[in-house]
């Protein structure tokens, strides 16, 4: 009896789970299908091409198309910007969370409330003010413009998450370290950072992926073909009357691989880091 109820419950879950999985995977399969089809076959509407080919990848990797003239350069731009955003956001958020949560800095509560408040304003609303600000600093068309803009957007959430995770570390650890003779910086480096590692990985990955996937700000703040990131370059594909869809999809697939790899490598931390301090005292 009990097993039958168990089977029934599982069947119901599967009934929901399978369609949702297909729904999620279908676009990705579509992406993959296009990338291994020739231009003629791409729109044939088949579930598997008659003559699967890797030619599209070869074209992309060898930059053999007008839209792909700067593929590697743009891929590199994306990489540099995403990594810089990840590292900078992490540094800012870790220092801020440490000061607010562990050193109990005055005004910490206020900073935290401000961070939360920024979520009432959609990032798109800030695009134009940000453009003007970067213009004022003379940073337009430099990678710094996009890096700083993305750090601005990612930092409040990162601070918030790290502050919550910090609060879960037992305060006696700080006191023990103080009595052992640690200065605040030593406490930060030798006790706080190692214990926060899972949360730091999660938050760093979050910021990195946010910048990697960003389109709007990259489109606004960078304009020369050599400076833009790959998502913006992908957007350019659509400006032609006869868009090379198979190449667009191939590039998109390539662009989606690093985040997938990162997520796979750090998924242990992502789950642990975003749900708890993950530290047993």
Partner 1 sequence: MASVSFNGVEKAFGDTKVIHGISFDIRDGEFMVLVGPSGCGKSTLLRMLAGLEEITSGTIAIDGRIVNDFDSKDRDIAMVFQSYALYPHMSVRDNMGFSLRLRRADKREIETRVARAAQILNLEPYLDRYPRELSGGQRQRVAMGRAIVRDPKVFLFDEPLSNLDAKLRVQMRSEIKALHQRLRTTTVYVTHDQIEAMTMADRIVVMHDGVIEQIGTPLELYDHPDNLFVAQFIGSPAMNVVQGTLRRTNGIVHVLTPDGVQWPVANSGAADGQPVTYGVRPDHLELTASGERGVPGEIVVVEPTGSETELVVKIGAAQLVVEAHGRATVQPGDKVTFAVNPANVHLFDQKSGQRLTA
Per CB under 8 A, 173 contacts partner 1? yes
Per CB under 8 A, 200 contacts partner 1? no
Per CB under 8 A, 177 contacts partner 1? yes
Nearer to partner 1, 14 or 185 (CB): 185
Supply the minimum distance, in Å, between the C-beta of residue 94 and partner 1.
16
Per CB under 8 A, 179 contacts partner 1? yes
Q: Binder to partner 1 among 130, 195, 234, 249 (CB under 8 A)?
A: 195
Whether 63 and 71 have beta carbons less than 8 Å apart is answered as yes
Per CB under 8 A, 170 contacts partner 1? yes
Per CB under 8 A, 191 contacts partner 1? yes
Whether 197 and 108 have beta carbons less than 8 Å apart is answered as no
Per CB under 8 A, 181 contacts partner 1? yes
SS3 238: coil
Nearest to 255 by CA among 209, 218, 189: 209
Supply the minimum distance, in Å, between the C-beta of residue 277 and partner 1.
11
Nearest to 102 by CA among 151, 154, 164: 164
Q: Which stretch binds partner 1 (CB under 8 A): 38-46, 96-104, 165-173, 217-225?
A: 165-173
Q: Which stretch binds partner 1 (CB under 8 A): 94-102, 116-124, 177-185, 228-236?
A: 177-185
DSSP string, 45-78: --SS-SS---HHHHHHHTT-SGGGTTHHHHHHHH
Site for partner 1 in 240-279 (CB under 8 A): 279
Residue 51: Cβ-neighbour burial (10 angstroms; 0-12, 13-18, 19+): exposed
Nearest to 49 by CA among 246, 238, 217: 246
Residues that bind partner 1 (CB under 8 A): 170, 172-173, 175-182, 186, 190-191, 194-195, 279-281
């Amino acid at each position: 009896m009990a097993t039958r109820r168990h089977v029934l419950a599982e069947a119901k879950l599967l009934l929901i789970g399978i369609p949702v999985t297909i729904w999620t995977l279908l676009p990705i399969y579509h992406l993959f299908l296009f990338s291994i089809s020739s231009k003629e076959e791409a729109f044939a509407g088949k579930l598997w091409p008659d003559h699967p080919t890797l030619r599209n990848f070869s074209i992309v990797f060898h930059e053999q198309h007008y839209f792909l003239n700067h593929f590697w350069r743009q891929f590199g731009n994306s990489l540099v910007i995403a990594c810089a955003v990840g590292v900078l956001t992490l540094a800012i958020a870790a220092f801020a969370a440490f000061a607010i949560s562990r050193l109990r800095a005055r005004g910490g509560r206020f900073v935290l409330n401000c961070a939360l408040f920024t979520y009432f304003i959609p990032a798109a609303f800030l695009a134009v003010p940000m453009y003007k600000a970067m213009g004022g600093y003379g940073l337009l068309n430099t990678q710094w413009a996009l890096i700083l803009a993305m750090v601005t957007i990612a930092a409040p959430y990162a601070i918030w998450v790290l502050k919550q995770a910090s609060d879960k570390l037992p305060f006696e650890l700080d006191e023990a370290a103080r009595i052992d003779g640690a200065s605040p910086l030593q406490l930060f480096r030798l006790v706080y950072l190692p214990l926060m590692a899972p949360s730091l990985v999660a938050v760093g990955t979050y910021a990195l992926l946010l910048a990697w996937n960003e389109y709007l700000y990259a489109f606004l703040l960078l304009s020369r073909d050599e400076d833009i990131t790959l998502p913006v370059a992908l957007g350019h594909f659509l400006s032609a009357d006869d868009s090379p869809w198979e190449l667009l999809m191939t590039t998109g697939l390539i662009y989606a691989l690093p985040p997938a790899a990162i997520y796979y490598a750090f998924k242990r931390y992502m789950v642990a880091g975003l749900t708890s301090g993950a530290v047993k005292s």
